[in-house]
Structures are given as C-alpha cells and as structure tokens.
Structure 1
Amino acid sequence: MAADENAAEARLGHRFDRPALLDEALTHSSAASPSRPHNQRLEFLGDRVLGLVIAEALAERYPEATEGELAPRFNELVRKETCAAVAREIGVDGWLRLGKAESRSGVRRKTAILGDAMEAVIAAIYLDAGLEAARAAILRFWTVRIEAQGDEAPRDPKTWLQEWAQGRGMRPPRYQVTGREGPDHAPLFTVEVTLENGGAAMAQATSKRAAEQQAAYRLLHLIGEIDD
C-alpha cells in the first residue's frame, strides 16, 4: 500500500480490508483510468451516509428540538465547506490523486474537490466495514463541530440573508439555477443568489435546496455577516 494510504488509515483510525476502496476515494476524475476509477460514485454514497449519521447524532443530542430547529444545525454540519475543512484537518488535500495539469493548477485546495473527496472516503469506510465503522470515523471528526454549535442553533442561511435584505429595505434575495451536470442519479446543481444592491454568490450541491443554502452562506460571508 502507498505511504499516503498508510497515513490516511492512521489518521482515519480505520485499516481497510479492501485498500482499493480508499484508492478510489482519493482519485479525482482527472487521474482516473480504466484500471483506476475516480471517486464520484463514492462521493454520492458518502454524502448520504454522512447525512444519516449527522441527523442521528443531532436527534440524539437534542431530543426536544423540532425539525425546524435541527435543520440549520444539520445543514451547517454537512455542507461542502465543513466537509472540506475536515478533509484539510485529516490531510486529504495531500493524498488526493490528480492529473498533472490539475496538480499544477491548485485544484487540490478547492473546497468542492476536498468536500467531495471527504464524502468519498466516508463511503469507502462504509463499504469496507459497514455503518458502525463509518459512524465512528465521522464522529471522530464531527463531534467537536457538533459540540461547538452549543445550545443555540445556527441560523438558516437563506432566512438570515432574507432578513438582512429586508432590514435594509431591499427586495428578497433572488435564487437562480445556472447549471446542472452529472447523471440523473447524482446531479450537481449550480445556484446563484443575487441581492438588489448587486451582491452575488454561487454554490454547487447535489440538490437545489442545498445549493441555495450554500450560496446564501457564501453571500453572507461576502457581505461581512459571517466571519469564518
């Protein structure tokens, strides 16, 4: 096994019985070949596994919370930026296999690429050893983020942005799907949100709702409402 994969296993706290799964999870489409599949199918599965584990963890931690109170917590924890932050913490950015051109262009630092890779790694663990192993790996890195939310739920980005605009006498933010790619079973939506004053941001996600939430979050960051 490659040294990077040994380091990945140590960092993840999981030794693979089928190392090829980790190899696939760490392979970007630009480095794929007939003998080395890329990680997009694993990313599709890992997104769902992550969502299940985080939803379960939040329901257990906040047994009296309503769906409306849990949703913004969930969205904050599973958004692409959070997945990318975990990927950087683990070291996935250094292990990713990329094509030569992509390696030179700084692709490995991109949030979308890292977030997808982290989800693919989660799926690889799930397929290798089952849900309990995947849950353990996820909670290893997400528990501190769950605890950091505290007792007050984070605000829903779309609602927050709308309230910000209305408080300044603007029309509500406008959301537009500007692109859709990928197969029907794993679509990727690009959404742009714009404000009356000209502010705008874009995001990609596997559902229109998630893309809207991420776009709103990015615009809140751009206008200085969010500091991180």
Structure 2
Amino acid sequence: MIACECAVCTSTDKKDNRLRSSIMVQSEKTTLVVDSGPDFRYQMLRAKVKHLDAIIYTHAHKDHVAGLDDVRAFNFFTQEPMQVYASDMTQEVIIREFPYAFYESKYPGVPDIQLNTIALEPFVAGDIPVTPIMVWHLKMPVLGFRFGRFTYITDANRIEDSELEKIRGSEVLVLNSLRKEKHISHYSLSESIEVVKSLQIPQCYFTHLSHQMGLHAEVEAELPNGINLAYDGLVINV
C-alpha cells in the first residue's frame, strides 16, 4: 500500500510484495488473462508474455479494468484485435473509460478491441472452455470462471447455492480473502476457509489479499491443509 510502513508493506519476503489480482490461463493454443488492472503492463513485462489472445473480465471496478489500454502492444505485433469477453455492465464501463478505442474514426495506434458479450452461459475463448459463475460483491454481480478442473473467483462475499454447484468438483480453487477482519464486500479469512470446507476442494489458494491480512509466512503457518496464500508468479498445472 502506498506510503504504508507496516510489517507487510516493508517486508523483504517477495511473497508479501503483490500487484493487483489477475491470472493468466494457457492451453497449447490459447493464452488469456482474467482482468487487466492498473498493473497489467508491468505484469505482462515481468512474465515475459509475448502473445495474448483474449482478456476475460470479472467486473468493472478500476483495479480490474484500468490497464486495458496497453493491449495496443499485442495489437501491433499480431495485427489483430484483442478479444475481450465481458458482461453488458462491464462493457458499458470499458466503453466509458476508453472511448477513443471505440470511435468510428480512430486515432492511429489506439487499442483495437473486439467486445464479446458474456453472461452465465458457458463459452469458449480460443480453445479454452469457460463456465461463468456469478458471485456477489456486496450488491454488485461479479463473474468468477471455471476452466475445466480449475476455478477462479475474486471480489466476492456471497455465492448462491446454485452457483456453488458450478464450483463443486474442482481440483483447484482460487478465492478472494481480503483480511482476517470481516469486510463489507469481500470474504474474510475465516469466511473463505468455510467456503472451501463446504465444497471439499482439495487445493485452494487465497488471493486479493490486503496488507491487513498479515505476513505471508505467518498466515500460511495457520492455514488448514490444502489451503495456501497465492503469491505473484505462482504457477498451477491442472
């Protein structure tokens, strides 16, 4: 956190040094990311990503969409539009935040974006099947996504029973867990643990962690078997 001198923000453990929450999903033919927050450019540089086929959005909050402008580099090298998958609500915000990308007469070099509308029906991005899962971020609907045996959910504090069934049977779940204290729109640590236990998923990683959660190593030592804190650069093979 900017200007903070707490134990987490000044830690020398790389696992305490986190950028905004996002994941990259790859098959043999397709590379996509979920969300492009303000750190998107640096995340792509740090991971040495040379090709990106699509971006899928969970919701329209700034910390999940703000980096979209930087897809122009991928446009330049592929000479193709970036395929963007988002709900109607998220598309409205994207168009409002990046209007120049959607003008009829575009300035040279602006991002080339192809919007694809998604809701709760399964879809395919490249050759990757995706099942959307609706969760609640206080009163805001947010989309989580299941990719085969792997499920990713962020910015949630409630999931209805019908949507929980879409997660059940996953081998790996990534779930948001903001801090130990209760929060108005994010799961707390104890709430996230209860969700994982109720679904009986063998391996879970908690993401979207605030510095208020505490030091990575100390929190990890307190977690039940099969539950870990995610960290920047984590690679999961499913």
Larger helix proportion of the pair:
1
Larger strand proportion of the pair:
2
What TM-score bracket applies, with the shorter chain setting the length? under 0.3
- TM-score of the two chains, using structure 2 as the length reference: 0.21
